[in-house]
Amino acid sequence: MSIPALEVEGLSYHYPDGTEVLRDASFHIHPGERVALLGPNGAGKTTLVFHLNGIFRPERGSVTVAGLPVEDANLMEIRRRVGIVFQDPDDQLFMPTVRQDVAFGPANYGLEGDELEERVTAALSAVGMLNVADRPPHHLSLGQRRRVAVATVLAMRPEIVVLDEPSSNLDPASRRELAAILTSLEITMLMVTHDLPYALELCPRALVMNEGSIIADGPTKEILSDRDLMKANRLELPMGFDPNLAS
């Protein structure tokens, strides 16, 4: 087997008030996998994500990205390798134009000239947003801004992309367009979502997280079909949705 793109081993973490948020969480993702991270509010999913590129540090356990430990000496390279797309694209888009937003990360890592322009063009082309490169981000729709946010991460050529609720508040057309883009990307992906049909559509594998631990790990369809598991972890499918009948 290949070296995991992401490996989390025995990860534990408390908030300053003593609340235990992560409890011996362990899993690994191999290169090219698309994996959904599912769980109720308060399960620890966001705290886990913040450990993946060193925003938070574990009290116990470890996080490794393509064999590189997440620790002080490696932070710059880790943050290039792990790209996080936040739920609100306005948390990532702050420059006067789309082009400048997508160029911001690579430029901070020393790219310039033709090489920088090639990165920007490739990233925007990958998400179908090259035609808006010179527009202000705030003039775009939510769906377009979310795609540009993905491009800002792709421009860094990461090992893994982490998406936080990528389908939230999107209209059906934007939701479909984003799904088509994400499935076309040849990149390792971890998608945090409450949108269970979207998880089934995009991710062959799913992790269930609750009370700071990984409760289940397996094929997404099998997990969504396990009624006892779903009920125990406060996960609910839309009324009438049958994962076994989904295409």
Any bridge partners for residue 217, and if so which? 207
Domain of 57, in residue numbers = 6-232
pLDDT of 176:
95
Residue 127, in any domain of the structure = yes
Provide the pLDDT for residue 244: 86
**Mean pLDDT, 10 residues at a time, over the chain (247 residues)?**
89 93 96 97 94 92 94 92 94 96 96 96 97 96 97 96 95 95 95 96 97 97 96 93 83
Q: End-to-end alpha-carbon separation of the chain, Å?
A: 29
CATH number reported for the structural domain that contains residue 95 in this entry: 3.40.50.300
Q: The tokens of 177 are what?
A: 């367009």
Report the distance separating Cα 124 and Cα 98, nearest Å.
Answer: 9
Structural domain tally of the chain? 1
Q: What is the pTM of this model?
A: 0.94
Q: Which residues, at least 6 apart from 59, have a Cβ–Cβ distance to it below 8 Å?
A: 12, 13, 14
157 belongs to a structural domain: yes
Residue 247's pLDDT is what? 63
